[in-house]
Amino acid sequence: MPPITTAPVAETRVRTAKPKLAVWKFASCDGCQLSLLDCEDELLTVVGAVDIAFFPEATSTVLPGPYDVSLVEGSITTPHDATRIQEIRAQSKVLVAIGACATAGGIQSLRNYADVKEFTSYVYASPQYISTLSSSTAIADHVPVDFELRGCPISKQQLLELLNAYLHGRAPTLPNHSVCVECKSRGIVCTMVSHATPCLGPVTHAGCGALCPAHARGCYGCFGPKEAANAMSLGSWFTDALKVPDLDVQRAFRSFNADAAVFAEESKRHGE
Amino acid sequence: MANRTIEVDYLARVEGEGALFVKIENDVLRDVKLRIFEPPRFFEAFLRGRKFTEAPDITARICGICPIAYLHGAAQAMEDACRVTIPRHIRELRRLVYCGEWIESHVLHAYMLHLPDFLGYPDAITMAKDHPEAVQRALRMKKIGNDLMVLFGGREIHPINIKVGGFYSLPSKAEVRARIDDLRWGLDASLETVRFVAGLEFPDFEQDYEFVALRHPNEYPFNEGRLVSSKGIDVPISQYDDVLVEEHVAHSTSLHTRVVGRDTCHVGPLARYSLNFGHLSPLAKEAARDAGLGETCSNPFRSIVVRAVETVFAFEEALRIVDHYEDGMPPSIEVAPRAGTGYGCTEAPRGICYHRYTIDDRGTIQDAKIVSPTAVNQPQIEKDLWDYVEPNVQRGDDELRAVCELAIRNYDPCISCSCHFLDLTVERS
């Protein structure tokens, strides 16, 4: 067996100063940035390798930009935030969108299928105090994004791999296959085949380690669509073979990644 | 200098985004506003039309720090609407996974968000250079809490294994018992934590709060109880809307809660502790007394000590439930939809978290109301700030800013839950 090739020396960047890391928040639950604080075993090592320049959930310290790496959580839902993301992009050498809100609008993108004025008056007694856009959209819909970490929430192992790769000047090794592959590699019995439980695993991006099938439930797609996902085929399997009502299929495709194009399109084929 | 404003544009070490605005005219305090500018996400609106079984997973996304509070509140409200009672072992396991969330959340706040204020550091990471043992202890305790959530929930943030009727699957007895050593270590570490934080210096600041919490006949409250207060509320949670009301104010995307016919109220560790001291374990009571706490505590700056005492309780409670865990119990019960309204209220780490849903006979949600603990505390935080700043207006802006931030962090405000938090502006004119 040939030796595993390593990256050519010329591609390895040599750093003299610690990179400046910033963590930004838009419409979200804070869970993805909390993933960094949840790396209990690695936290002190990670923060030792970077300068935390802006991370208000964790520190009062604020260092001025520009920033080497910006992790961006949340979706764009207000006029103010649509401006703020442009400023952050301009200040960031590398911008990484983290989580389903930042990469696919999040659960709050359910407003994209509704009348946001009606939503506002349902929740707030004085809708005139509320400033909001009619849609919730991904960061990449507003500015160029250098990398995306999927998931609701992201996987902390994937976050560590991303930071590790960045610090060593290499590309992150993150799978882009479906949850099905993770299921098979763990030896988990298929939920659709064995007990006719609808599962979004065939069209969902890997990263969770097939968490739901491992707990006897179908995948609910929180990592969003994988590359080249055939959602129409899976949607047809749900309705034709498993006799799932159209409205339930629509709900399945319209959740935490409701503004991801592949899921959005398939959701429109059902229930309306 | 006669007229000034103090502004904090971004409050650090709170979960979410907000700002503080203080206005002083000729050394007289004129205005205090806690502005929450977390963008509205409209959960209650888009829950309409979703299936009753989806509410736990969807509402968990309100908050990445206390998802269990939402998973449980929604599941319990739906079980209430469908008129089913979950078996005792599932109720116990819900308490167990909630212990994990309390430990994780309380340790995160006490050590990583609040303690740096008392010891004069910008964050726990900088603090680790001088207090490595304390920070290492915190990280390990927090991990043990998260491990419990992973064991029963699948992952620590937005667990996937909790549903209306119980759990999708349950771990084996061997896997559960493998946690005992860690939990025992955690219990010792939590006692050490109480001693550690009891030695901090606290401002002399007692408030006449109306404490609101759940109260159960024979347990320290996690998952159920009557809604009670220190000024006379004592109702079942189905009457929540009769005693607590929400108001919409211009400076916040989070609704403000008030007691009907009275004023602000205070929820969270101080309220739970002061209304339920008698139900704490003997060990937790002893730790509290040794730390100099009485049976009630009305100094919000001491909330860090109360959180530490509750962490002792959470480790003990987790050990009690783990000790009785057996293989072969059914993970859930069937819950068939039934038209009606259901109520769920649990004690999130930051205080009561209320859910109310109306569903139709097919289980489709018709109406939803969710109140996060920080939304309830928000006007109380403003009142604390007012009372604290008023006698101290002559202090410099930087000093005022620092104490205001500390006073806000006393509540461990979770702004993504309530909507979000903090920027301080002090305007002197």
Contact B134, B111 (CB under 8 A): yes
Structure tokens at B379: 């006007």
- Residue type at position A52: I
Closest by CA position to B145, among listed B385, B312, B377: B312
How far apart CA B3 and CA A157 sit, in angstroms, is 51
pLDDT value for B424: 44
Looking at the structure, do residues A135 and A247 belong to the same domain, yes or no? no
pLDDT digits (tens, 9 = 90+) for B208-218: 999 999 999 99
Specify the 3-state DSSP secondary structure of A77: coil
Cβ <8 Å between B13 and A29: no
Residue A10 lies in a domain: no
Average pLDDT of the residues in A39-58: 90
Q: With left for phi above 0 and alpha for psi between -120 and 50, is residue B142 left, alpha or beta?
A: alpha
Residue A82 lies in a domain: yes
Q: Between B184 and A128, name the one with better pLDDT.
A: B184
Would you list the DSSP string of A151-172? BTTB-HHHHHHHHHHHHTTS--
How far apart CA A110 and CA A122 sit, in angstroms, is 15
Residue A8 lies in a domain: no
- Of A42-51, B319-328, B409-418, the range with the lowest mean pLDDT is B409-418
At A6, the pLDDT band (50, 70, 90 cuts) reads: very low
How far apart CA B108 and CA B419 sit, in angstroms, is 20
Of A167, A187, A214, the domain-final residue: A167
pLDDT digits (tens, 9 = 90+) for A103-144: 999 999 999 999 988 888 887 777 777 778 889 999 999 999
Q: Flag whether pLDDT at A185 surpasses 70.
A: yes
At B375, the pLDDT band (50, 70, 90 cuts) reads: confident
pLDDT value for A11: 41
Q: With left for phi above 0 and alpha for psi between -120 and 50, is residue B34 left, alpha or beta?
A: beta
Residue A200 lies in a domain: yes
Of A122, A137, A167, the domain-final residue: A167
Q: Which member of A34, A59, A119 has the closest CB to residue B42? A: A119
Of A167, A192, A219, the domain-final residue: A167
CA distance A8 to chain B (A): 35
Residue A7 lies in a domain: no
At B400, the pLDDT band (50, 70, 90 cuts) reads: confident
Cβ <8 Å between B44 and A255: no
Cβ <8 Å between A220 and B124: no
Average pLDDT of the residues in A172-190: 95
The domain made up of B3-203+324-428 has a fold known as Cytochrome-c3 Hydrogenase; chain B (1.10.645)
CA distance A175 to chain B (A): 20
B406 exposure class (CB count in 10 Å sphere: 0-12, 13-18, 19+): middle
Q: Which member of A30, A78, A114 has the closest CB to residue B65? A: A30
Looking at the structure, do residues A144 and A26 belong to the same domain, yes or no? yes
CATH code for position A59: 3.40.50.700
pLDDT value for A2: 39
Cβ <8 Å between A212 and B154: yes
Instruction: Give me the sign of the Cα torsion angle B264, B269, B272, B273.
Output: negative
Q: What is the pTM of this model?
A: 0.93
CA distance B143 to chain A (A): 6
Q: Flag whether pLDDT at B296 surpasses 70.
A: yes
CA distance B385 to chain A (A): 19
Q: Which residues of A touch B248 (CB under 8 A)?
A: 124-126, 129
Looking at the structure, do residues A49 and A88 belong to the same domain, yes or no? yes
- Residue type at position B360: D
Q: Between B23 and B340, name the one with better pLDDT.
A: B340
Structure tokens at B197: 């934080």
Looking at the structure, do residues A50 and A128 belong to the same domain, yes or no? yes
Cβ <8 Å between B160 and A215: yes
pLDDT digits (tens, 9 = 90+) for B52-91: 999 999 999 999 989 999 999 999 999 999 999 999 999 9
Q: Between A34 and B14, name the one with better pLDDT.
A: A34
pLDDT value for B409: 86
At A241, the pLDDT band (50, 70, 90 cuts) reads: very high
Compute and round to an integer the Cα radius of gyration of chain A: 20
Q: Between B409 and A211, name the one with better pLDDT.
A: A211
pLDDT value for B426: 55
Looking at the structure, do residues A59 and A150 belong to the same domain, yes or no? yes
- Residue type at position A87: E
- Residue type at position B359: I
Looking at the structure, do residues A35 and A158 belong to the same domain, yes or no? yes
Looking at the structure, do residues A123 and A155 belong to the same domain, yes or no? yes
Tell me the CA distances in angstroms from A153 to B94, B110, B111, B142, one per residue in order: 22, 24, 24, 18
ipTM: 0.92
How far apart CA B170 and CA B93 sit, in angstroms, is 10
Contact B359, B366 (CB under 8 A): yes
How far apart CA A97 and CA A88 sit, in angstroms, is 12
Q: Which member of B51, B61, B249 has the closest CB to residue A251? A: B51
Closest by CA position to A27, among listed A106, A126, A96: A106
Would you list the DSSP string of B285-326? HHHHHHTT--SS---GGGHHHHHHHHHHHHHHHHHHHHHT--
Q: Flag whether pLDDT at B314 surpasses 70.
A: yes
Looking at the structure, do residues A242 and A184 belong to the same domain, yes or no? yes
- Of B25-29, B52-56, B249-253, the range with the lowest mean pLDDT is B249-253
Looking at the structure, do residues A141 and A257 belong to the same domain, yes or no? no
Residue A31 lies in a domain: yes
CA distance A43 to chain B (A): 9
Q: Which residues of A touch B43 (CB under 8 A)?
A: 107
Compute and round to an integer the Cα radius of gyration of chain B: 21
pLDDT value for A10: 40
Specify the 3-state DSSP secondary structure of B77: helix
Q: Flag whether pLDDT at A231 surpasses 60.
A: yes
Cα-based angle A187, A188, A189 (whole degrees, multiple of 5): 115
Q: Which member of B41, B161, B168 has the closest CB to residue A108? A: B41
Structural domains counted in chain A? 2
Q: Flag whether pLDDT at B423 surpasses 60.
A: no
Q: Flag whether pLDDT at B29 surpasses 50.
A: yes
Contact B414, B374 (CB under 8 A): yes
Looking at the structure, do residues A152 and A187 belong to the same domain, yes or no? no
Closest by CA position to B21, among listed B34, B38, B36, B30: B34
Average pLDDT of the residues in B20-39: 83
Structure tokens at A272: 């309306």
Looking at the structure, do residues A31 and A154 belong to the same domain, yes or no? yes
Q: Which member of A78, A114, A124 has the closest CB to residue B46? A: A114
pLDDT value for B9: 63
- Which structural domain range is residue A189 located in? 179-268
Average pLDDT of the residues in B347-359: 96
Contacts of A205 (CB under 8 A, 6+ apart): A150, A176, A178, A179, A223, A224, A225, A226, A227
- Residue type at position B418: S
Residue A26 lies in a domain: yes
% residues pLDDT > 90 (chain B)? 70
Average pLDDT of the residues in B130-136: 95
Q: Which residues pair with A21 in a beta bridge?
A: A52, A69
Structure tokens at B315: 């480790």
pLDDT value for A3: 40
How far apart CA B168 and CA A123 sit, in angstroms, is 32
Which residue in this structure is represented by tokens 């159920």?
Answer: B224
pLDDT value for B254: 64
Contact A29, A99 (CB under 8 A): no
Looking at the structure, do residues A71 and A94 belong to the same domain, yes or no? yes
Q: Which residues of B touch A122 (CB under 8 A)?
A: 42, 44-45, 48
Contacts of B12 (CB under 8 A, 6+ apart): A56, A57, A59, A60, B122, B405, B422
pLDDT value for B13: 60
Cβ <8 Å between B156 and A38: yes
Cβ–Cβ pairs < 8 A, chains A and B: 179
pLDDT value for B8: 65
CA distance A261 to chain B (A): 19
Q: Flag whether pLDDT at B415 surpasses 80.
A: no
**Chain mean pLDDT for chain B:** 91
Q: Flag whether pLDDT at B413 surpasses 60.
A: yes
- Of A70-74, B107-111, B168-172, the range with the lowest mean pLDDT is B107-111
Contact B154, B105 (CB under 8 A): no
